[in-house]
Chain A
Amino acid sequence: MVHLTADETALVTGLWAKVNVKEYGGEALGRLLVVYPWTQRFFEHFGDLSSASAVMHNPKVKAHGEKVLASFGDGLKHLDDLKGAFAELSALHCEKLHVDPQNFKLLGNMLVCVLSRHLGKEFSPQAQAAYEKVVAGVANALAHKYH
């Protein structure tokens, strides 16, 4: 369970309002596939992933990135119960998708990088600390139903 102070929660939700979920989601997932190439194995059926620019422009990667980030955004409404909020997705990623939960941490790092890149000065050290807590919490929640 993630414990955010009132200030941290305010920082997280305040900055989230400025996030372009479609754009940042596609970028975060694309960057994951470029920076950690082994993650491409989960998206072999997505078409052309043959170069960084192919990955970043791939419409399926963009669409899926948006979907993933939207679900992250939903999670932000349930910071007091991330495990409950992500229980079904956790079971899905374990039983059907067979994704090593380490990858949730990598994607979380990627999201923090994307936020840092876009938000610049606004992504203060305190904002970074709050978001790193949240992505760690989401990664744990997604791993919780693994068996």
Chain B
Amino acid sequence: MVYFTAEEKAAITSLWGKVNVEEAGGKALGRLLIVYPWTQRFFDKFGNLSSASAIMGNPKIKAHGKKVLNSFGDAVENPDNLKGTFAKLSELHCDKLLVDPENFRLLGNVIVIVLANHFGKEFTPQVQAAWQKMVTGVASALARKYH
């Protein structure tokens, strides 16, 4: 189980309050597909993924990125119960979506990079450490129901 100090929770929620989920979600998912091209296999039905700019401009990618990052918002609200919060999504990703859980770690890292990119100075080492814990915790929670 992941343990967050009071300061870490504060750092996470304070930054989250300033995140444009639609924009950041689309960017994070787009970057995942560009930086780790094998992840495109999960989005074969999304249309044009033929170049970096096609991916970043793809409306289905943007919409799905927003959906994924919105669900991250549940993690921000329930940091002490990530496993419970993501139990259903974990089963879904294992049983229906057939996603290798390593990809959750990759997406988590990309989210951290997108936050760093956007927030610059505000993304202090302490804020980064708190968010790294969060994305790692979410990745573990999403992998938990795998069998």
Q: Which of A55, A113, A125, A129 contacts B128 (CB 8 A)?
A: A113
A97 adjacent to chain B (CB < 8 Å): no
Binding stretch for chain B, among A28-36, A64-72, A86-94, A137-145: A28-36
Q: Which of A34, A112, A125 contacts B126 (CB 8 A)?
A: A34
B residues contacting the other copy or chain, number (CB 8 A): 23
**Cβ-defined contact, A55 with B125, below 8 A:** yes
Q: Which of B34, B52, B117, B124 contacts A116 (CB 8 A)?
A: B117
Most buried by A among B112, B116, B123, B126: B116
Residues of B within 8 A of A117 (CB): 116-117, 119-120, 123
A12 adjacent to chain B (CB < 8 Å): no
Q: Name the CB-closest residue of B to A126.
A: B52
Report the separation of the CA atoms of residues A123 and B55 in the bound assembly, to the nearest whole angstrom. Answer: 16
**Cβ-defined contact, B56 with A113, below 8 A:** no
Scoring A residues 28 to 72 as 1 if CB is less than 8 Å from chain B, else 0, what string do you get?
001100111000000000000000100110000000000000000
A109 adjacent to chain B (CB < 8 Å): yes
Report the separation of the CA atoms of residues A30 and B35 in the bound assembly, to the nearest whole angstrom. Answer: 25
Taking residues whose C-beta sits less than 8 angstroms from the other chain, chain A's interface range is 20 to 34
Report the separation of the CA atoms of residues A109 and B56 in the bound assembly, to the nearest whole angstrom. Answer: 22
Nearest first, the 4 closest Cβ-Cβ pairs linking A and B are A117-B116, A34-B125, A116-B117, A125-B34
Q: Give 19 A-B pairs besides A52-B125, A116-B117, A129-B34 with Cβ atoms closer than 8 angstroms.
A: A31-B128, A35-B128, A35-B129, A35-B132, A36-B132, A109-B109, A112-B113, A113-B112, A113-B116, A117-B116, A117-B117, A117-B120, A125-B31, A125-B35, A125-B52, A126-B34, A126-B52, A128-B34, A128-B35
**Residues on B close to A: CB < 8 A?**
30-31, 34-35, 52, 55-56, 109, 112-114, 116-120, 123-126, 128-129, 132
